Amino acid sequence: MFLKRYIGALLLLWSFAAAANKDSTGIGGAAYQEKYQHPIRKATGLIKIDGNLSDSAWAGLEVADKFAAHWPQDNVPLLRQTEVRMTFDDKFLYIAAVCRDTNYHIIQSLKRDGDYWSSDAFAVTLDPINERTNGFFFGVSVANAQTDDLLTFSSDDLNGSWDNRWYSQTKVFETYWTVEIAIPFKTLRYDPKKLKWGINFSRNDLKNNQYSTWTFIPVNFNGYDLGYTAALNWQTAPPPVQGNAALIPYITGGLESNQLAQKPTVGTFKGGLDAKIAITPQLNLDVTINPDFSQIEVDRQVTNLTRFSIFFPERRTFFLENDDLFSSYGSPVFRPFFSRSIGLDRNAQPLQILGGLRLSGNLDKNWRVGLMTMQTAAKDSLTPAQNFTAFSFNRKVLKRSLVKGYVLNRQGFMNTKEQQANPQNQFGRNQGLEFNYSNVKGDLNVWAGYHLSQKPTVSKQNDAKQLGFGYFGRDFSFFIDYLNLGTNYHADMGFLNRIENYTFQLDQFGKIRSDTTVRLGYQQIYSETEYNIRPEKSKINTHTFSAETFLLWNPNGTLGDHSTGVRYRVQLQNASSFRVRFDHNDVRALFPFVFTDSDFPLLPRRYTYNQYSARYESDYRKKFYFSASARVGGFYGGTLNQYNLEMTYRAQPWGNFSMSFEQNDVKLPDPHGSDRLLLISPRIEINFSTNMFWTTFLQFNTQRNNFNVNSRLQWRYKPMSDFFLVYTDNYFTDPLFKNQNRAIVFKLNYWLTL
């Protein structure tokens, strides 16, 4: 019965989407490429990448200019223009840009894949397949700091997850600056027979707080949106790519001590190998043997004032390239695949990964596939040797929509005794199918999904269903998402936000006797509505009014948690902003829970309370900028006062010095206790050049009773080849500065192109 209603709702949303798409205004996709076209022809001479643009090969080439304002307003004149030229030879695709400007610029960092949007910069977006589903982004700041990433139309932001070898150089003049870019054809994935690519260019002009693009992209879309690319017309075919492969061996070693376990200081030394092999020009194989992630920066800690676990993003580079193929299923609270589950035990402690491989890319213009398998070593009887395998496909349908599906399998290698003692540790399997509809313009979306999990001894309430609709217009946007998660739905390779409830068993006096975990499924509806007013010729860029609603039902149909929030934000032309927010919360807790050190947890009952918050962010273009916020109001029968202050000083271009301070004063009725939770995080980033960086990050967190020190030196001694030196130290905050563990390690890798 439910399945029939589910299919009926999907058909209703599909009909509405089709009708809305028929009446939508504006152009995009192939129609856009009739208006915006840029020819490219082979270079007539040699090009030296020095930023000068004096080589004869640049003379006489067609110029892409007359850029359009994009953000924060798309209906105002552009104050500074950009001119772009392109050419190629047998090895490289070349791009040259002249950015009209003064001789003073804003540079936040020299670090590769740093904060690209906060510096004066230029970027090119490439879609070699020209199907508006995936592509490449190459950005260069005025100080020649590079950013590169893979794009998909479902991605929201750049994450710097994809790294490859390419070349650039900038040069500053009195009234403009220039950039030359050389991208090896081996870096790209394309069909040499295809003579029309998608192309776009973007420019950051921070002094005027203007971001522009060559083709006009409405302000409600990203400046690298693949639906608004121009046509890059090849007068002669690009050269075919032959033998694209790279080996990246590494060695690592260091000293480690564990004071808690009273273990002596020990030395470590090991090596491993990564490889990147182009199976076809559009399909890539990544192999890793004995991988090591010691150089990855530590997580940014947060104060958790919810009753559930917190999502921390993946930082390990092997899992990030093409990660949307696996990780984009579900919603933020429900991810069937989450790569951080690979290589961690139940207590989030690292496991040894023996090796793995990932095959990902395009089969043709309609099919995109990913296959990943990883093998970990055994740790103990509860954590046997395991294999993690994931397969995913994307099938393009209609103009810009996808049907996508996945199969996941975690297999534990256990003997009969271990299987009998922990039957659910044997395996965890998941399958799912989703449909994501997007009109050509990109402002109308419909999504639906069905997900199934298998575990030993589990046969009921083991599925998940999702359905949603969204309209994302220039001034008005709205979406609503429905999720039904069964109590016995497991995701051994994923992340589930609230299905597992950490709770307590109490004695007759209401005091904690022991802790436990209870699984409970739920249904939820979450929606957001936003309206923007964009005044012309004003000191205000945008007034934003928004509201969100959350409703949850328990498996027996009773109403659980629900909340409503309303927000107002004003964004000023000087790049500062101010926002206020009101939240009404109605929590119907089913299990005892705690927020303080009291032995008497809060009891399961209904809690209603209101909270008020405000936040101000100063002009981030200045050398010193800050943000300050406060949240006050009720909190589970008591009160919460939260204060945040973040300050940054930029010693341009070589240094960033920041301090983040958060204080949460939680006061609950007796006997549940009160607490003051502090999170203090100073950070120092020194850029010796665009190839050498030193970052030191301290985190003092009383909620986790941890004071962490992480200091990392990175030297890129050759393109894509690095030396890292990392020092990490952990202390208690109570007793203060009692050491837990420390380590100092080095890692050396070398990129060898075959």
- Is 482 a domain residue? no
Could you report the per-residue pLDDT of 353-380, keeping only the tens digit for each?
999 999 998 888 889 999 999 999 988 7
Measured between alpha carbons, how far is 726 from 743 in angstroms, rounded to an integer? 8
Query: Residue 243: inside a domain, yes or no?
Result: no
Single-letter amino acid, residue 495: F
12-36 pLDDT per residue, tens: 444 444 444 443 334 556 778 999 9
* Cβ contact 122:140 at 8 Å: yes
Domain region containing 53: 36-234
Residue 315 within any structural domain of the chain:
no
CA atoms within 13 A on the CB side of 569: 16
Q: Quick check: is 219 in a domain?
A: yes
CATH number at residue 146: 2.60.40.1190
Indicate whether 513 belongs to any domain: no
How many domains does the chain fold into? Answer: 1
* pLDDT of 610 over the 70 cut: yes
Please, how many CA atoms are within 13 Å of residue 382, restricted to the half-sphere of its CB? 4
- Predicted local confidence at residue 27, as pLDDT: 57
Question: CB within 8 A of 415, min separation 6: which ones?
Answer: none
Give the C-alpha distances (Å, rounded to integers) separating 187 from 145, 159, 163, 165, 690: 18, 18, 10, 7, 21
- Give the model's pLDDT for residue 71: 94
Please indicate, yes or no, if residue 54 is contained in any of the structural domains. yes
- Which pLDDT score, from 0 to 100, does residue 24 have? 38
242 closest CA partner among 307, 184, 292, 159: 184
Q: In what order do the strands lie in the sheet with 82-88?
A: 82-88, 92-100, 176-184, 167-172
pLDDT, tens digit, for every residue of 427-477? 999 999 999 999 988 899 999 999 999 999 888 999 999 999 999 999 999
pLDDT in tens, 698-724: 999 999 999 999 999 999 999 889 999
User: Residues of the chain with pLDDT > 70: what percent?
Assistant: 95
The pLDDT, as a whole number, for residue 211 is: 96
Q: Is the dihedral of CA 730, 732, 733, 737 positive or negative?
A: negative
| pLDDT above 50 for 500 | yes
Instruction: Indicate whether 577 pLDDT > 70.
Output: yes
**Which three-class secondary structure state does DSSP give residue 137?**
strand
pTM of the model: 0.88
Q: How far apart are CA 296 and CA 489, in angstroms?
A: 32
Higher pLDDT, 344 or 390: 390
Average pLDDT, integer, range 88-102: 96
pLDDT tens readout for residues 269-310? 999 999 999 888 788 899 999 999 888 888 888 999 998 888
660 pLDDT tier (thresholds 50, 70, 90): very high
Amino acid symbol at 187? T
Mean pLDDT of all residues in 107-132: 92
Q: In degrees rounded to 5, what are phi and psi of residue 300?
A: -80, 115
Amino acid at 402: L
Task: Tell me what the mean pLDDT of segment 619-644 comes to.
Answer: 97
Q: What is the mean pLDDT of residues 583-607?
A: 93
Inside any domain, residue 657: no
The answer, yes or no, to whether the previous bond of 72 is cis (omega within 30 of 0) is: yes
Beta strands 37-40; 134-141: pairing state: unpaired
Whether 117 is in a domain gets the answer: yes
DSSP result, 160-208: -------EEEEEE-SSEEEEEEEEEGGGS---TT--EEEEEEEEEEGGG
pLDDT at site 641 = 98
Average pLDDT, the chain: 90
Render pLDDT for 400-426 as a digit per residue (tens, 0 to 9). Answer: 899 999 999 999 988 878 777 788 888
